[in-house]
């Protein structure tokens, strides 16, 4: 502190803005975990100005607190802003500009129509990858927005022979594949798995089975698949193993399949955390995870298909909600 300026009053809130994606990416790590991150600025739309207004209103009402927010029907989340949340933004949910959920999280509100009825939607992305950040964001949304359905979209690894690049993995059951006990077995290091599995509601499973047979939709994805030089995507319903580490070793994936669940179809870093938060909040809260395969979790792992897979996942989620949300929520 400069003694010549006396006592400096630090602001309670800061909202950095930048019109340069390159500079924003360079500063991303510094602002990770700080309130709201970096707001993209553009003069082509009024979204940035609207977000600043919403932040200002939030700050002004922070002490007095507005009346309780009305609940939303669906909360959508992704692991990261790029490429997953950006892919979600590009889908027609009638998105409004960002606004604060709380002192550290920005979200967007939108709508989706199912069977002629309009449903409210909110969406946000985690501060970082992994089950902890995913469960924190999920619980924040559940407490503030009280959605009836929580849905995760994004990218994952596929198990060879089970799910191909671009396929959408619909999680039927998930667990933490790293949960267990490291032991010494006569001088040889060993590990005893202790999985806690969480599954989806029967109504969600039935809707996903119908979605799997939506041939018109899956055929509509063929042109983009051709451009990406991969097979036409399909829905793969099955177990998803979640861990806090990135996998780029086929031997680890093979051990998960051999020792934990022979039918595992995908690997990710968030789904179990989302499922756990939803169950802890209320047994009546429905939850799904629709993630598209971008790699096989082996030594060939790279970013080549991440944007493509994120787009497939977001598009599939919108179609699923459009076709089946009215059925999932009509028993509320």
Domains along the sequence of the chain with CATH? 10-67 (no CATH), 146-329 (3.40.50.1580)
Q: What pLDDT does 1 receive?
A: 40
Integer Cα distance of 21 and 85 in angstroms: 15
Which pLDDT belongs to residue 298? 59
What pLDDT, on the 0 to 100 scale, is given for residue 148?
Answer: 96
* CB distance 233 to 218 below 8 Å: yes
Report how far apart, in Å, the C-alpha atoms of 102 and of each of 93, 186, 204, 327 are: 22, 52, 29, 31
What's the confidence (pLDDT) of residue 61?
Answer: 74
Give the Cα separation of 105 and 98 in Å (integer).
10
CA 266 distance to own-chain centroid:
15
pLDDT of the residue at 96: 96
Q: What are phi and psi of 38, to 5 degrees?
A: -105, 125
Distance, in Å, from the CA atom of 75 to the CA atom of 54, rounded to the nearest integer, reads 19
Other beta carbons less than 10 A from residue 158's beta carbon: 25
- For the packed helices 271-281 and 131-145, what is the interaxial angle rounded to 10 degrees? 30
Kindly state the helix (H) or strand (E) to which residue 263 belongs, with its residue range: none
Q: How do the pLDDT tens digits run along the chain, 332 residues long?
A: 445 555 666 676 777 778 877 766 667 666 655 566 777 787 888 888 888 888 888 777 765 654 567 899 999 999 999 999 999 999 999 999 999 999 889 999 999 999 999 999 999 999 899 999 999 999 999 999 999 999 999 999 999 999 999 999 999 999 998 888 888 788 888 777 888 899 999 999 999 999 999 999 999 999 999 999 999 999 999 999 999 876 566 777 778 877 778 889 999 999 999 999 999 998 889 999 999 999 886 556 668 899 999 999 999 999 999 999 999 998 55
Cα–Cα separations (whole angstroms), residue 227 to 166, 216, 222, 304, 307: 12, 19, 9, 13, 13
Taking the CA atoms of 68, 71, 77 and 81 in sequence, report the sign of the dihedral they define: negative
User: Which pLDDT value is given to residue 56?
Assistant: 82
Question: 3-state secondary structure string, 58-101?
Answer: HHHHCCCCCCCCCCCCEEEEECCHHHHHHHHHCCCCCCCCCEEC
| Distance, CA of 237 to CA of 314 (rounded, Å) | 17
- In the prediction, which pLDDT does 7 show? 63
Cα 164 to Cα 65, 208, 212, 266: the distances in Å are 48, 18, 15, 10
Q: 20: left (phi > 0), else alpha (psi -120 to 50), else beta? A: beta
Separation CA 18–CA 40 (nearest Å) = 5
- Give the separation between CA 152 and CA 168, rounded to whole angstroms: 12
What is residue 115's DSSP assignment?
Answer: T
First CA to last CA across the chain, in angstroms? 56
């Amino acid at each position: 502190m400069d003694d010549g300026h006396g006592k400096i009053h630090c602001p309670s809130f800061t909202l950095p803005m930048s019109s340069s994606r390159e500079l924003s990416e360079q500063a991303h790590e510094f602002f990770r975990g700080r309130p709201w991150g970096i707001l993209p600025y553009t003069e082509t739309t009024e979204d940035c100005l609207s977000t600043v207004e919403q932040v200002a209103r939030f700050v002004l009402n922070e002490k007095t607190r507005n009346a309780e927010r009305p609940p939303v029907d669906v909360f959508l989340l992704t692991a990261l802003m790029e490429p997953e949340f950006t892919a979600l933004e590009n889908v027609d949910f009638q998105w409004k500009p960002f606004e604060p959920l709380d002192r550290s999280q920005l979200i967007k509100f939108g709508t989706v129509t199912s069977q002629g009825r309009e449903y409210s939607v909110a969406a946000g992305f985690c501060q970082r990858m992994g089950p902890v950040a995913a469960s924190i964001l999920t619980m924040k949304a559940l407490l503030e927005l009280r959605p009836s359905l929580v849905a995760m979209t994004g990218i994952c690894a596929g198990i060879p022979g089970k799910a191909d690049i671009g396929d959408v993995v619909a999680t039927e059951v998930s667990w933490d594949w790293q949960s267990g006990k490291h032991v010494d077995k006569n001088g040889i290091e060993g590990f005893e798995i202790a999985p806690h599995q969480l599954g989806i509601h029967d109504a969600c499973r039935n809707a996903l089975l119908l979605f799997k047979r939506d041939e018109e939709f899956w055929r509509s994805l063929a042109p983009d698949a051709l451009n990406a030089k991969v097979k036409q995507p399909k829905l793969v319903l099955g177990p998803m193993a979640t861990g806090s580490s990135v996998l780029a070793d086929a031997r680890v994936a093979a051990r998960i399949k051999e020792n934990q669940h022979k039918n595992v179809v995908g690997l990710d870093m968030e789904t179990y955390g989302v499922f756990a938060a939803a169950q802890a909040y209320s047994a009546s809260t429905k939850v799904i995870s629709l993630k598209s395969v971008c790699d096989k979790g082996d030594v060939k792992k790279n970013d080549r298909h991440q944007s493509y897979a994120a787009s497939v996942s977001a598009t599939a989620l919108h179609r699923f909600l459009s076709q089946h949300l009215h059925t999932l929520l009509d028993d509320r």
